[in-house]
Amino acid sequence: MVFKRRINRTLQLLLSDLSDRALANASQWRAGLGEFVETGLPPVPSDLVIATMNGVMGDALEERKSRLAQRMAFSSGMQPLSLDPIRLAGQLSLPQTRIVICVHGWCMNDSQWQRKPHDHGRNLAKFGYTPVYLRYNTGRHISSNGEDFALLLEQLIATWPCPVQEIVIIAHSMGGLVSRSACFYAARHQVSWLNQLTTLVTLGTPHNGAPLAKLASWAETRIAAVPYLQSVVNLTRLRSAGSKDLSLGTICHSDWQREPPPPYPLRPPLPDGVACYAVASCLSQHTQDERSRRIGDGLVPVASALGEGDEQQLAVGFPAVNQCVVGSVNHMGLLTHPFVARKIEQWVLANSG
């Protein structure tokens, strides 16, 4: 028995030493990965590669002041938009008083709204809307992107060539969380564009969190409770801040700044006076089947995409008539499906002044 205790003690000391080494090496590994990304990629890597790297480790890239960190900016879909009034006027051939802003999802960028060859933003141009696309670093905290979005949009509206009468936001996946966060911080900062916002549409947004991100978060929590496995949890913590926020649908600074973090994120109400809509989808055509709704679009369950409440958290608050569930559509299919496009048209035009 004494011999066994000695063996256990020796094993604990060994594992503790390995854990300490892993903790020290984790930051070195993260820095090394950043160095590899900087020097190992082509001088001009593709936008899609950069978007993916930002989702995976965008917070680290930003910390390094990397050339690969996506800076938040607006684009026309063809070129970045300047916030200088004279230059912006020259970039827009026919600016409208109505703007539709498209906000992309995790590991994506502003160029990926154009698919097969549909584009929800450009589709509204025929109704007198100028499409504008937000690009942001999806590895940063969602709330950080949300607050920056709120302030950057205020600058864009101030420099727009004509008075803006109406703003519409269409957001896919993580973009819906960033947009809700932007509305929350727009109210905090008392910016003016919130008064022009008429419609907010979220497509496949994990308002209650995304299962894959939740699984990673759950594993990290469970492993952290086992001293022998600290060396493993140190590696799981290398996930980007944005991917961690996806696990619960976190949109406020306080949800990640507090120690320990709350078990469930704050649920700020949807913006007052704005018609808010949520679109979910199922891989199956049977949208009322419980199993189909749990699987959802393959990444986001229906309950999460609609922001439904349960005994542990409040519902986001989308009115039942403003919710839509589409069958036989996957997560990316929400960007192109004709029925979704018609729904967006219907909702936007119903709220247009």
Q: Which letter does DSSP use for residue 1 in this model?
A: -
Q: For 100-119, what is the mean pLDDT? A: 93
pLDDT tens digits along 71-107: 999 999 989 999 999 999 999 989 999 999 999 999 9
Cα–Cα dist 95/343, whole Å: 25
pLDDT of 29: 46
Of the two residues 319 and 260, the one the predictor is more confident about is 319
Check: CB of residue 97 under 8 Å from CB of residue 166.
Answer: yes
Look at residue 307 in the predicted model and tell me its pLDDT: 97
Mean local confidence (pLDDT), 152-170: 98
Is 111 exposed, middle or buried, given 0-12, 13-18 or 19+ CB atoms closer than 10 A? middle
CATH classification (class only), 73-209+264-351: alpha beta
pLDDT digits (tens, 9 = 90+) for 28-64: 545 555 554 555 555 546 788 889 889 988 998 999 8
Contacts of 198 (CB under 8 A, 6+ apart): 166, 167, 168, 274, 275, 351, 352, 353
The three-class DSSP label of residue 264 is coil
